[in-house]
C-alpha cells in the first residue's frame, strides 16, 4: 500500500490539475458563447446568399464565368480550417482524418497551426498557412479565400474545397468537406445549408424553367462578377466562424470532462488516503497494546 | 396581395415582415417593388430603402449588397443595414470621424483594410442622410 505521504502528494497534484482545467473550462465557456453567437448570426446571410445563387443555378449553362466552368480535376485545392491551440479533445484529429482520406493530388492552404503542422508532417503540399486568431475577422479570412481563388483562376488548382468542423451544437461538431469551386453542385450545397438550419429543402428548386425567367440589373455578367467572389469570401468566413465555435465548444467539453475526472480521482484518492491513515492508526494502537501486554 | 421582405446582413437579420411595397436603391437608380413583380436580381447601392406597410412608412439605411425579387418575396443581402429608428446620430458622427481619420492614416496601408474603412464611411454618410431626411 502506498504511504500516506505519497497519496497526499498525488492529491495535491490532482487538485492543481482540477483547478487549472476548471479555469480553462470557464474561459472556454465564455469564448464559446461569443463564438457560437457569431456563427449563428452569420448563418441567415450565408444561407440567403446561397439561395440567391440557387436561383441562378438553373441558368448556369447560359452564364459565362470562370467559377462556373467545369474542368478536369488534376489537383484539388483545399482550405483546411483547424485551431491554433490543442487541448480541445478529438476536434482536430477528426478534421485531419478527412485529410488523410484524400488520396488524389491536392494542395493545401491552412488556417490554424495544428493543421499546418499536420500537413508539413505528412509531407503534403502546403501552399500557404494563416494563423487562426481568437477573433475571426472578415478581412483576415478574405485574404485566405482570395488567395485560393487566385490559385484556382491561374490554374494551379482545379477545385476549391473547404474542410472544417461544422458546428451543430455544443456537444456535436461534424468534420465536413464542402466543395466551393467550381460552382457546379450548388443544389447539393443548398441542401446542406438547409439541413444546417434545420429546414426542409427549398421549394424554389422545383420551379420550372418558365418561372425562373429573371431580370438582371445592370446585367447578368456584372451581377455575377460581384456576387460570386463575395459568395466565396463569405462562405469561407462563415466556415471559419463555425470552426471557431466548434473549437471553443470542444475545448469546453474536453476541459469539463478533465475536471470531472479529476474530481472523481480526487474522491478515490481521498478514500485511499483515509484508509491508509486509518490502517496506520490501527497499527499503532495494536503495537502499543502489544507492548503493554508484554510489559 | 402583399410582399414579404427580408433584409439580412452578415451580423443579423435586420428586417423581416409582410409589407405592401418597397423602394430599393440600386446601382441603376431606385426600384419600386410591388406585389407581382417579375423575378429580379440586382445590385444594391448605398442609400435609403423605403418600406410601406399600410399607412406606415419605414426607412432603412442600407449599404452595398444584392436584392432578389421573386414569388412576391423580396430578399436583400446588404453589407450594412439599419432601421432609421435605431440610428444614433451622435454615435454615427463619432464613428464617421474616427473612420475618416483612420482612412487618412491607412491610405497607403493594407488595401483590404482601406476598403473596409471606406465602406464604413459610406454607410455612416447614408445613415446620417436617412436620419436627417425631411429636416
Residue B113 sits in the same domain as residue B72? no
Q: Distances in Å between the alpha carbon of B46 and those of A38, A61, B38, B79, B120?
A: 25, 32, 23, 10, 11
Q: Residue A123: which residues within 8 A CB-CB, separation 6 or more? A: none
Quick one: CA dihedral B102, B108, B114, B120, positive or negative?
positive
- Orientation angle between helical segments A4-57 and A220-294, nearest 10 degrees: 170
Tell whether B72 is within 8 A of chain A (Cβ).
no
**DSSP readout, A10-27?**
HHHHHHHHHHHHHHHHHH
Are B76 and B117 part of one and the same domain?
no
CA distance B5 to B8: 10
In a domain, A86, yes or no: yes
Task: For the beta carbon of residue A134, count every other beta carbon within 10 angstroms.
Answer: 12
Contact (CB<8Å) B70/A42: no
Q: Note the pLDDT of residue A9.
A: 94
**Helices B89-106, B111-131: crossing angle, 10 deg rounding:** 150
The answer, yes or no, to whether residue B117 has pLDDT greater than 90, is no
How many structural domains is chain B composed of? 2
CATH number at B78 reads 2.60.15.10
**Does any domain span residue A275?**
no
- Select the residue of B13, B40, B75 nearest A215 (Cβ to Cβ): B40
Partner B contacted by A45 (CB < 8 A)? yes
Is B70 found in the same domain as B12?
A: yes
Cell numbers found for residue B52: 410601406
Shared domain for B54 and B35, answered yes or no, is: yes
Containing structural domain, residue A198? 26-251
Which chain A residues are within 8 Å of B12, Cβ to Cβ?
Answer: 41, 44
A247 within 8 A of A83, measured Cβ to Cβ: yes
pTM of the model: 0.82
Q: What CATH number does the domain containing A143 carry?
A: 3.40.1380.10
Do B70 and B96 share a domain, yes or no? no
- Looking at the fold, whether B14 and B60 belong to one and the same domain comes out as yes
Considering B50, B65, B85, which residue would you say is the last residue of a domain?
Answer: B85
Q: At what angle do helices A4-57 and A186-197 cross, to 10 degrees?
A: 130
- Encode pLDDT of A4-20 as tens digits: 899 999 999 999 999 99
Which grid cell sits at B107?
A: 491610405
Q: Range of B44's domain? A: 3-85
Same domain, B124 and B95: yes
Range list of β-strands (E), chain A = 76-81, 106-111, 125-130, 159-167, 173-181, 215-217
Other Cβ atoms within 10 Å of A22 Cβ, number: 16
pLDDT(A62) > 90:
no
Strand partners, B47: B62
Mean pLDDT of the A150-172 span: 90
The reply to whether residue B39 touches residue A138, judged by beta carbons under 8 angstroms, is: no
User: Does one domain contain both B17 and B61?
Assistant: yes
- What is the pLDDT, as a whole number, of residue A208? 45
Phi, psi dihedral angles at B24 (to 5 degrees): -110, 130
Nearest chain B residue to A139 by CA distance is B112
pLDDT of residue A165: 92
Within a domain: A294: no
Total number of domains in chain A: 1
State the Cα–Cα distance between residues A230 and A142, nearest whole angstrom.
9
Name the β-bridge partners of B31: B24
Residue A234 to chain B, least CA–CA distance (Å): 8
Residues B13 and B63 in one domain: yes
Predicted local distance difference test score (pLDDT) of residue A190: 65
pLDDT category of residue A141 using cuts at 50, 70 and 90: confident
Chain B CB contacts of A143 under 8 Å are 112
Task: Decide if pLDDT at A268 tops 80.
Answer: yes
Eight-state DSSP code of residue A123? T
pLDDT band at A200 (very low <50, low <70, confident <90, very high): very low
Answer yes or no: do B114 and B65 share one domain: no
* Position with higher pLDDT, A207 vs A212: A212
8 A C-beta contact, residue A245 and residue A168: no
Give the cell for residue A232.
466565396
Over residues A45-54, the pLDDT tens digits come to 888 887 777 7
- B122 lies in the same domain as B71: no
pLDDT, position A188: 65
CB atoms B39 and A143 under 8 Å? no
Amino acid at each position: 500500500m502506498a504511504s500516506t505521504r505519497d497519496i497526499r502528494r498525488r492529491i495535491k497534484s490532482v487538485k492543481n490539475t482540477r483547478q487549472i482545467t476548471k479555469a480553462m473550462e470557464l474561459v472556454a465557456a465564455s469564448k464559446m458563447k461569443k463564438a457560437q453567437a457569431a456563427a449563428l448570426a452569420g448563418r441567415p446571410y450565408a444561407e440567403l446568399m446561397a439561395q440567391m445563387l440557387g436561383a441562378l443555378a438553373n441558368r448556369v449553362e447560359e452564364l459565362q464565368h470562370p467559377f462556373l466552368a467545369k474542368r478536369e480535376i488534376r489537383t484539388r485545392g483545399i482550405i483546411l480550417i483547424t485551431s491554433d491551440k490543442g487541448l480541445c479533445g478529438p476536434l482536430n484529429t477528426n478534421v485531419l482524418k478527412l485529410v488523410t482520406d484524400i488520396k488524389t493530388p491536392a494542395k493545401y492552404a491552412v488556417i490554424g497551426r495544428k493543421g499546418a503542422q499536420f500537413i508539413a508532417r505528412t509531407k503534403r503540399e502546403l501552399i500557404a498557412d494563416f494563423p487562426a486568431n481568437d477573433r475571426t475577422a472578415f478581412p483576415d479570412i478574405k485574404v485566405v479565400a482570395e488567395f485560393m481563388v487566385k490559385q484556382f483562376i491561374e490554374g494551379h488548382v482545379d477545385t476549391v474545397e473547404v474542410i472544417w468542423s461544422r458546428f451543430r451544437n455544443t456537444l456535436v461538431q461534424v468534420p465536413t468537406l464542402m466543395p466551393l469551386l467550381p460552382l457546379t453542385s450548388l443544389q447539393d450545397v443548398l441542401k446542406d445549408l438547409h439541413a444546417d438550419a434545420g429546414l426542409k429543402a427549398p421549394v424554389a428548386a422545383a420551379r420550372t424553367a418558365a418561372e425562373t425567367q429573371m431580370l438582371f440589373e445592370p446585367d447578368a455578367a456584372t451581377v455575377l462578377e460581384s456576387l460570386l467572389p463575395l459568395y466565396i469570401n463569405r462562405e469561407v468566413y462563415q466556415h471559419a466562424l463555425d470552426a471557431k465555435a466548434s473549437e471553443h465548444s470542444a475545448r469546453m467539453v474536453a476541459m469539463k470532462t478533465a475536471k470531472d475526472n479529476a474530481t472523481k480521482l480526487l474522491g478515490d484518492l481521498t478514500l485511499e488516503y483515509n484508509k491508509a491513515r486509518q490502517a496506520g492508526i490501527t497499527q499503532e494502537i495494536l503495537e502499543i497494546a502489544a507492548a503493554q501486554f508484554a510489559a | 396581395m402583399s410582399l414579404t421582405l427580408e433584409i439580412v446582413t452578415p451580423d443579423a437579420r435586420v428586417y423581416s415582415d409582410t409589407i405592401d411595397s418597397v423602394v430599393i436603391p440600386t446601382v441603376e437608380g431606385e426600384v419600386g417593388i410591388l406585389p407581382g413583380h417579375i423575378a429580379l436580381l440586382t445590385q444594391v447601392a448605398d442609400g435609403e430603402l423605403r418600406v410601406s406597410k399600410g399607412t406606415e412608412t419605414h426607412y432603412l439605411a442600407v449599404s452595398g449588397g444584392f436584392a432578389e425579387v421573386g414569388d412576391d418575396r423580396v430578399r436583400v443581402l446588404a453589407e450594412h443595414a439599419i432601421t432609421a429608428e435605431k440610428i444614433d446620430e451622435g454615435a454615427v458622427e463619432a464613428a464617421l470621424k474616427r473612420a475618416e481619420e483612420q482612412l487618412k492614416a491607412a491610405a497607403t496601408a493594407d488595401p483590404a483594410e482601406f476598403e473596409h474603412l471606406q465602406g464604413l464611411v459610406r454607410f455612416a454618410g447614408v445613415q446620417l442622410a436617412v436620419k436627417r431626411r425631411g429636416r
